[in-house]
Structure 1
């Protein structure tokens, strides 16, 4: 049975973790054994690619206003908040800085196979960003990376279509969530909603379809995605720490992920890797 593909969600998160989407968070995810990292990218006013989740700065930092209205120089002094809301010394990195961090690790990594296959999942946000990301990816490929070291995901199918035109060899991932404003499980999709999303994205031929784990657990959901030609990727929403799961639930989750070969984007890459090792030990695999 192949190993579980684990990608660190915004690096790694949680009360004891570094601020999300910070250089320390990405370094921590790598140190914890992640096979990839997921990050969010916006374009600043002066056309720089920066790594940050929200459209506005207030919730996650001591900054104010829209991130797209600021220059890179203006963002340089902004400090990120921890999950507990406390200010830290970590700033908002550029995409180039994160890729430089990954590159430095890859050069010296003890596990060369893991380093060579490491994936950076770039979730692009906002219009007009595709060509800037394409330029950065192309620069890295010229320097020795492979297109398969990247995944460009987005909720915006128009952005993915533009990226497909710019860089046909770059894998793309169609992100989907449930209808906004739904009070219960707002990110999760029903089976009919998933079928509609797959129809909407069919012309793009996405390499992955990224939905919440509960969406993938619906009977037939994984099969629908694979029939479309895409690989299923589960992203986290309100994820519980793995150590809080009852033993039987944790074992069932790991069996489902491994047997279906689902890529897992998780807030807790280290704990999930430990859970996988425990499952394999118990199963004699």
Structure 2
């Protein structure tokens, strides 16, 4: 199986993360999918941004949930890439509309660990159904209750647990919850037989964030389902080279 390449917040090594520009670049760089983060604005709109606050990516401050969508659209999120000019926070629907003509998988991370954003699970499923995108999506979260809620709303949704710390028998844990994938921090793959055990239970493994070329080669050789990377162009070259060997 050829390992897939998912662009972490888009091609975020080269463009402002979680923007239409970063997702468009990921498509051009040959990604098989993108990973993005979704929260709710003050008026309940699905917006794509990672941090609960604006501080890191914008010259504005405060929590995303404190602002309406109209106000959020006036902020620029190009703090680390000023050359991109007036990049703005996209809605989840805008990202879907951009990527709909492609065949890319979209990994939607629900940012419900700190702010639970009541109703966000219903909103993401309703949007996917509205646009006919349900079969292209995989939902992930550090809040595993969010994933169970998604499954309760729609039993056909595909889900992946995000883990950043060591969990004993994580593949068993995922399987027992009826989860489809594990999205581990890269260092967790040091656990003996982690990938093998996951595969035996029918659980996909999609580690983050894979930016080192040596690590990319190792994971491609292991037959990981997908690598979540800031550098989809570099990862593409390595995966294609392995395919030819």
Residue 221 of structure 1 pairs with residue 182 of structure 2: no
Residue 4 of structure 1 pairs with residue 32 of structure 2: no
Give the whole-Å Cα distance in 1 for the aligned partners of 2:220 and 2:191: 13
Residue 170 of structure 1 pairs with residue 157 of structure 2: yes
Give yes or no for contact 2:43–2:69 (8 Å, CA) kept in 1. Answer: yes
Q: Which residue of 1 aligns with 2:123?
A: 132
Where 2:108 maps in the other structure, the secondary structure is strand
Residues 72-151 of structure 1 mapped to structure 2, 5 A cutoff? 72-83=69-80, 88-103=85-100, 105-106=101-102, 115=103, 118-126=104-112, 127=116, 128=118, 129-141=120-132, 145=133, 147-151=134-138
**Per-residue Cα deviation, 1:227-264 (whole angstroms, up to 9, x for no partner):** 34311111107x34x3xxxxxx36xx425424423311
What TM-score does the superposition give when structure 1 sets the normalisation length?
Answer: 0.78
Q: Which residue of 1 aligns with 2:36?
A: 39
Q: Which residue of 1 aligns with 2:209?
A: 236
Tell me how large the CA RMSD over aligned residues is: 2.1
Give the length in aligned residue pairs: 240
Residues 196-211 of structure 1 mapped to structure 2, 5 A cutoff? 197-211=170-184
Give the whole-Å Cα distance in 2 for the aligned partners of 1:84 and 1:45: 26
Give the whole-Å Cα distance in 1 for the aligned partners of 2:217 and 2:84: 35
Larger radius of gyration: 1
| Aligned partner (choices 143, 162, 168) of residue 156 of structure 1 | 143
Where 2:155 maps in the other structure, the secondary structure is coil
Q: Which residue of 1 aligns with 2:228?
A: 265
What TM-score does the superposition give when structure 2 sets the normalisation length?
Answer: 0.90
